[in-house]
Amino acid sequence: MMTVKDLFQLSVTKNFSVVAGENGLNKIISSVGILDFEYSNGIEPVRETAFSPHSLVLSSLLFAFQKPELLIETIRELIKLKVSALAYKPVIFRELPDEVLHFANEQDFPILRFGGDEYFEEIIFEVMNSIKSRENDLFLQNMMRCLIEDEVSELQLQSFLQQMNKPFEKYVFAANIRMMQSENPQWIDPFLQFQSFLKSGIVCTYKNSILIILTDKSERLQFAKLLNEWMNLYGIPTDELTIGYGQVHQTHTELHLAVREAYYARIMANIETKPVCHYADLASERLLIELYRKDAQFASRYVKEYLGPLLTEKIDKDLLQTAVTFVLKKGNVKEVADAHYCHPNTIRYRMAKIRQLIEPFGNEFVFYENLSTAVKLYLLYKLIEQTSLE
């Protein structure tokens, strides 16, 4: 969805300024209309025109030339019609009357002033293109959510591929990419330009990450190498990226598997703080992923039951973090100690205390296996829940 605030991200409207109704900038824009000199007979034609709800109305305010009293009437009527904002070109009125601004502020109705000589046609074209692009991206995001989270039938896959209206090839390759510790969504923009390479593929955003799907006639395509070449071509630094790759699948029957594997491979890369993870290289992690997918509530309950003593506020939080690092470092005490800036004996003491708390009577090897399963499920649940809120 596009909001009034999003106008400032477009090239043609980036120099607009807010003169009133700043609290209404989150209103949705779904269309654009023009209110101008042809309405010089008063407010009645505005009613007849009946601008669509959630529209952006552009005007030179020529209808109010030497009749400034029409301004507040017009704004009142636009609000009744549920128009989202008015943007005016300052040719008749450089500044609007105080009573108009006061009324708009009271109603949280945004009034924007053009930044210069922007043409109505250019504004309409760019805004509508942006709306269409956002709607398409929303459709893709919903479809990706369906492919990743739901059980998808072959009929549903065929319907999706038909709606995309692209010449998809026999084999599908997928990658999911996310920038580590970045709150600026602009890192995504260069990846969207890959669409020019993907006449038989898709690029879309998904939960603050990028999904890149490519189809090809050959299952031997070196997708990872090709993706790296594209990133180099666009000067995209890879040192802060986490990338997950799915396995090769047949497009018309297994597209959902390629997308799903890429997404969860990237999640596992995040968990293990690795730059790249191939789903094909995962072993027991696949079972944990499927367990989480099929019954997230059971997985969460199991984690809380097994790791419960480490999750309580009364327990030293260093114990939980030590358990996590111990699993991620595959039991290498020295590496765990280095990660926590302490002596290896401190880690041995903490691990003994952890074992005493959660599995005091079990075999040491069984304990490590159980701890590894619970910790990875804990991290999987924590990371996915965190990204679902973004």
Strands 85-88, 111-113: pairing kind: parallel
> Does 170 lie in the same domain as 96?
no
Structural domain range at position 188 = 151-282
Name the domain boundary from 231, 248, 282.
282
Gyration radius of the chain over CA positions = 28
Same-domain pairing of 11 and 91: yes
pLDDT at position 38: 47
Q: Kindly state whether residues 269 and 302 are assigned to the same domain.
A: no
Both 311 and 382 in one domain: the answer is yes
Provide the residue-wise pLDDT of the chain in tens; the chain has 390 residues: 899 999 999 999 999 999 999 999 999 999 999 987 544 455 555 555 568 899 999 999 988 888 898 899 999 999 999 999 999 999 999 999 999 999 999 999 999 999 988 999 999 999 999 999 888 888 999 999 999 999 888 899 999 999 888 889 999 999 999 997 666 778 888 998 888 778 899 999 998 899 999 999 999 999 999 999 999 999 998 888 999 999 999 999 999 999 999 999 999 999 999 999 999 999 999 999 999 999 999 999 999 999 999 988 677 788 999 999 999 999 999 999 999 999 999 999 999 999 999 998 878 889 999 999 999 999 999 988 876 545
Considering the domain architecture, whether residues 251 and 354 belong to the same structural domain is answered as no
What pLDDT shows up at residue 40?
46
Specify the number of domains making up the chain: 3
Q: What is the DSSP string of 186-248?
A: GGGHHHHGGGGG-TTEEEEE-SSSEEEEEEES-TT--HHHHHHHHHHHTT---TTEEEEEPPP
Q: Are residues 221 and 274 in the same domain?
A: yes
Assess if residue 139 is contained within a domain.
no
The 3-state DSSP composition of the chain as helix, strand, coil percent (nearest 5) reads 55, 15, 30
Establish if 248 belongs to a structural domain. Answer: yes
State whether 76 and 182 are in the same domain. no
Q: How many CB atoms lie within 10 A of CB 357?
A: 16
Within-domain flag for 184: yes
Q: Cβ distance 147 to 243 under 8 Å?
A: no
215 in the same domain as 189: yes
**Residue 291 forms part of a structural domain:** no
Tokens representing residue 321 in the block: 């973090």
In a domain, 134, yes or no: no
275 domain-assigned: yes
Query: How high is the pLDDT of residue 183?
Result: 64
* 302 found inside a domain: yes
Within 8 A by CB and 6+ apart from 322, the residues are 336, 340, 347, 350, 351, 354
Report the CATH number that the domain containing residue 54 is assigned in CATH: 3.40.1390.20
Domain boundary residue among 112, 127, 142? 127
- 85 has which bridge partners? 56
Residues in the chain: 390
Global pTM value: 0.78
Whether residue 144 lies inside any domain: the answer is: no
